[in-house]
Amino acid sequence: MLRPLIIVGFGGFIGSVLRYLTSLYFQSQTVSLFPWGTFTVNIIGSLLIGVFFGLSEKGNILPADLRLFLTVGICGGFTTFSSLTNDAFVLIEGREWLKVSLYTSMSFFLGLLSVYIGRTLVKLI
């Protein structure tokens, strides 16, 4: 039981640090109130989890420990629903109705599309 916890924890650490750096970079590239940093990491993370699960389904290319490390650990630490909802709340407080609508709907649908694209890309390889 300790082994999976260490695998997930280490992956989560890496994913969280990558999320922070990626979010910081993308948010610093704009002066917009729109939360580009969180939006970007969630879309990238969705694409990656699609690729990782696609690899898992394609003839067990990823061993179970590596799949756990990449999906639950790194992707779980990299993407963040709590930051998404907090960013949406800030937009609501600012009465940015169009931005909150675009942000939440685009995050969900582009995230879903990214998972699909990731899985499809692996199937094509």
**pLDDT tens-digit series, residues 36-68:** 988 999 999 999 998 988 888 887 788 989 999
Domain total of the chain: 1
- The string of pLDDT tens digits covering residues 69-100 is 999 999 999 997 878 888 899 999 999 999 99
Domain that holds residue 91: 2-124
Asked if residues 42 and 79 have their Cβ atoms less than 8 Å apart, the reply is yes
Above pLDDT 90, what percent of the chain?
69
Residues written for the chain: 125
Using pLDDT thresholds of 50, 70 and 90, give the confidence band for residue 1: confident
- The string of pLDDT tens digits covering residues 95-122 is 999 999 999 999 999 999 999 999 999 9
Phi/psi-derived region of residue 99, left when phi > 0, alpha when psi is between -120 and 50, beta in every other case: alpha
Place of tokens 């916890």: 5
